[in-house]
Amino acid sequence: MIYLDNNATTKLAPEVLEAMLPWMVDHYGNPSAGYRFGKEARRAIDTAREQAAALINAHSPEEIIFTSGGTESNHLALASALSWLPPDSTFVSSTIEHSVIHEWLGAQAEKERLSWEQVSVNEDGQLHLDEWSEQLSRSESRFATLMWANNETGVLLDVEKAAAIAESQGAYFHSDAVQAVGKVPVDVQSHPMQSAAISGHKLHGPKGIGALWVNRHSRLHPVLLGGGQENNRRSGTENVAGIIGLGKAAELAQAHIARREEQQGLRDRFESALLGEIEGVEVNGTTEPARRLPNTSNLYFPGVDGEGLLILLDQAGICCSPGSACSTGAVTPSRVLTQMGYSRARAKSSVRFSLSHLTTEDEVTEAITLIKEAVKKLQIVLPTGSRVVGPRR
């Protein structure tokens, strides 16, 4: 199997499993317990908090709140702000946020708990900063959220400028950094931000664990109440093994980030081979490779049904993701791609490939051959001999 779906989830690093195992078997004490057996677990959690904080250059480990994953981390930041911001507040997001944020904001707006404004992106997948600035200049715009990197295209959003604009207007700034953390440097001190979401399983850690970084000067109102864990910010007995796993994964990620140029080199080789060898293939998102995550390639294969390509690639042993989602029998083209201005046809003919440091040169070479073969089988040939090509816009 050639696994090219690392933006969906990653393989657990063996070192992470090794670090977790004792906390699932022998050291099962409750970290809130006052005896030694519990205190050991507390100390291990503290170390993991330091490791997670170091990865994103938090001011202090206390700024890390462990959660059940990226979904909860984002929801905690949003729900907290909703509970203390004035009731007439407008929440501002981009049109390409992950469904975790998009659907939460949509649901709250529908119930009239907040106003929601979405700022569009261009064909490269970059935020229209002038629109962002104009939207945030309105006094009711008090919360701004922008993802650090897009999960489908890998495009790195201009968080630096977006956060600076939010700060200049006195708005809270949150970033869903789930896809960026562990792949590229994420330094929360370098931007004026209030919170950021992290997920363990996107960086070779376990599933079901994540963290919300909250600036020590920012307010956080808890959503889960009860035992008062995580310094009263997220109740619930800690997922000790998961937390230890996230800490270890964060420590290991530093080395992968340092070698991200190698990762990008492999991705670029994969991408340019497909662009050069299959007629009409185009990149979705910026063509400047350095402005995307070093592991992601979202490609448009003209005349090819993306779902069909996925099935053939699955049969050939390649795991990757579609540019469309199949729900209740209908194929819905990706919101992200259509919001970037691509046609529905193009979105339905697009596939995301995402590598990791575990992807080898040989796997990439084999994947290129198998993808070329599968595309050849699927390209629709019109009676005239010309291929059906989906329009760019």
Ligand X SMILES: Cc1ncc(COP(=O)(O)O)c(C=O)c1O
Q: What is the contact surface with ligand X in residues (CB under 6 A)?
A: 69-71, 74, 98, 100, 147, 151, 176, 178-179, 199, 201, 210
Shortest Å, Cβ 174 to ligand X: 12
Shortest Å, Cβ 152 to ligand X: 9
DSSP 8-state assignment for residue 156: B
Q: Is 319 a catalytic residue?
A: no
Q: Which member of 33, 225, 311, 326 is catalytic?
A: 326
Nearer to ligand X, 98 or 267 (CB): 98
Shortest Å, Cβ 197 to ligand X: 6
Query: How many whole angstroms separate alpha carbon 211 and alpha carbon 316?
Result: 36
Of 147, 113, 144, the closest CA to residue 131 belongs to 144
Shortest Å, Cβ 94 to ligand X: 12
Nearer to ligand X, 103 or 277 (CB): 103
Shortest Å, Cβ 206 to ligand X: 10
Q: What does 307-359 look like in DSSP terms, one character per residue?
A: HHHHHHHHHHTEE-EESEEEETTEEEEPHHHHHTT--HHHHHTEEEEE--TT-
Nearer to ligand X, 90 or 151 (CB): 151
CB 312 within 8 A of CB 374: yes
Nearer to ligand X, 58 or 203 (CB): 203
How does strand 350-354 pair with strand 296-300?
Answer: antiparallel
CB-nearest residue to ligand X: 70
Nearer to ligand X, 74 or 264 (CB): 74
Distances (CA, A) of 248 to 20, 133, 213: 9, 39, 17
Query: How many whole angstroms separate alpha carbon 223 and alpha carbon 299?
Result: 39
What torsion do the CA atoms of 377, 382, 387, 389 make, to the nearest 10 degrees? -110
Computed from CA positions of residues 251, 256, 258, 260, in that sequence, does the dihedral angle turn out positive or negative?
negative
Shortest Å, Cβ 98 to ligand X: 4
Query: How many whole angstroms separate alpha carbon 183 and alpha carbon 294?
Result: 7
Beta bridge partner(s), residue 64: 213
Query: How many whole angstroms separate alpha carbon 165 and alpha carbon 141?
Result: 12
Nearer to ligand X, 45 or 178 (CB): 178
Query: How many whole angstroms separate alpha carbon 72 and alpha carbon 85?
Result: 20
| Residues taking part in catalysis | 326
